[in-house]
Amino acid sequence: MSAAAEGMPPAAGPEAVGEMVREATAWCALHGLVVGDRADPRSGTVPGVGLVHAPFSLLPTHLPVSCWRQACELAPIFNELVDRVSLDGDFLQDSLSKTKQVDDFTSRLLDIHRKMMEINKEENIRLGLHRSDYMLDSETDSLLQIELNTISASFPGLGSLVSELHRSLIDRYGNLFCLDSKKVPENAASCRFAKALARAWDEFNVDSAVVMMIVQPEERNMYDQYWLAKHLKESHGITTIRKTLSEVEAEGHVLPDGTLVVDGRTVSVVYFRAGYTPNDYPSEAEWTARLLMEQSSAVKCPSISYHLVGTKKIQQELAKPNVLERFLENKEEIAKIRKCFAGLWSLDDEEIVKSAIQKPELFVLKPQREGGGNNIYGLDVRETLARLQKEGGDALAAYILMQRIFPKASLANLVRGGVCHEALAISELGIYGAYLRNKGKVVMNEQSGYLMRTKVSSSDEGGVAAGFAVLDSLYLTDKLI
């Protein structure tokens, strides 16, 4: 993926760029493309206090239309795969058994999963809101998957707005760049995620019930979440409540028939925008809340099994020969998934570990963590592997090795805090997917919009909320890969 322009063309001098930045940041304020300001201590807890525009790219990123179509075609296949794998409890437990010995967080999730297996807990209504992330590898001209997110797939709200921002800017300034706003695909991720939540609410079939969004106590990305609540209310007449895990523990209980009641309200759907990192469980209260919700009849997005399918270790297991065939029958769909897999290896593969120590720049070492800022790159790969080998035992099982993807870097204009700077940048495409099943019936299985993130090429990590990247959109080109 390359930036929309090799820097700004001569026609777009500093004055024009400055005008575009002012127009764009004003647009962000008027249209809710905002996040909490880290400089204001209340910005993560009090809505409407301490707002700044979300960081964004001034122009969209070029992507071959063939890659776009490939990624969109994969979304419903991955949705189905997550559901199939989630139903195989023994596969999840066995695949993560070594990881459990050395990773306390994964161990606690597996304990809840095991308890659900022991009581034969069935999730008749299963809702998945996923995001599969890709990069276009310049070495192979292939679109390769980085990871599959099955919990708290962020930015459907704000990501939807960036394509609107870019179309608006191109309509006004496109003559300076020879760009056509029609080549920026529409992005209805927030509406489509809200529709999926509403359909799950419908399937639950209790008119007085609410959707409960599980959030972190301090959430500067709350406006991304509020967009979903807005669509749920205005388009579907459904009320959303926001609760932290500790609030659920204090205010929640499960009735004898399985109904989850929190703060006196019946909950039909639990939508997790927290709970994906150990930091979200500072005490036993949060783990008690997670178990309570899992034991209830409310629709969980994700259920504990869907959550586990998104772990790095399961991603690596699915990349092994003949494993996809365990869950999918369609050979064409299996081939499409395999085509996007980057190299993924367990650390009990001595030859791969040896190769990674010799050439660490060709690999990424990934722990079982979400949210950005956790992966290990470069010489740190060699040092970490050497340390883990020295420690011995199952320490290696806490990580997987992945082929490093090398996207093409191009000049881009990145705007943060009202300031635009030009830099060599690379981009990552995330495709959202929504999946809803009620017993034997698939109610919904669709591609549900996209997220484009662009970052300075010298940065290894890519999270927007973690401060590494900016929000972006797509500009589709006919160039073939």
Annotated binding site for ATP: 147, 312, 366-375, 377, 402-405, 428, 455, 461
330 carries an active-site annotation: no
What are the distances in angstroms from CA 209 to CA 164, 237, 259, 270, 321?
A: 33, 11, 10, 11, 44
Catalytic residue selected from 142, 297, 370, 462: 370
Angle between helices 65-86 and 331-340 (to 10 degrees): 110
Binding-site annotation, residues for Mg(2+): 147, 149, 370
370 carries an active-site annotation: yes
Backbone angles phi, psi at 480, to 5 degrees: -95, 150
Catalytic residue selected from 149, 163, 187, 346: 149
Backbone angles phi, psi at 15, to 5 degrees: -65, -45
- Give CA angle at 425 (421, 426), nearest 5°: 150
Catalytic residue selected from 44, 57, 453, 473: 453
15 carries an active-site annotation: no
Catalytic residue selected from 7, 89, 343, 371: 371
Distance CA 128, CA 79 (A): 7
95 carries an active-site annotation: no
Catalytic residue selected from 57, 79, 142, 154: 154
Catalytic residue selected from 366, 382, 408, 437: 366
- Partners of 134 in the beta sheet? 145, 429
Catalytic residue selected from 43, 80, 86, 147: 147
* SS3 category, 49: coil
Query: What HEC string does 163-230 produce?
Result: HHHHHHHHHHHHHHCCCCHHHCCCCCHHHHHHHHHHHHHHHHCCCCCEEEEECCCCCCCHHHHHHHHH
312 carries an active-site annotation: yes
Binding-site annotation, residues for substrate: 131, 151-154, 219-221, 225, 273-276, 453, 464-465
Binding-site annotation, residues: 131, 147, 149, 151-154, 219-221, 225, 273-276, 312, 366-375, 377, 402-405, 428, 453, 455, 461, 464-465
What are the distances in angstroms from CA 75 to CA 181, 217, 321?
A: 25, 31, 21
For residue 73, the Cα-to-chain-centroid distance in whole angstroms is 18
366 carries an active-site annotation: yes
Distance CA 193, CA 185 (A): 17
Distance CA 242, CA 225 (A): 10
What are the distances in angstroms from CA 215 to CA 144, 238, 288, 331, 370?
A: 31, 18, 16, 39, 15
268 carries an active-site annotation: no
Please answer whether residues 161 and 226 qualify as being in contact, where contact means their C-beta atoms are separated by less than 8 angstroms. Answer: no
The single-letter code of the amino acid at 352 is I
Catalytic residue selected from 242, 290, 312, 408: 312
Which residues have a catalytic role annotated? Answer: 131, 147, 149, 154, 312, 366, 370-371, 453
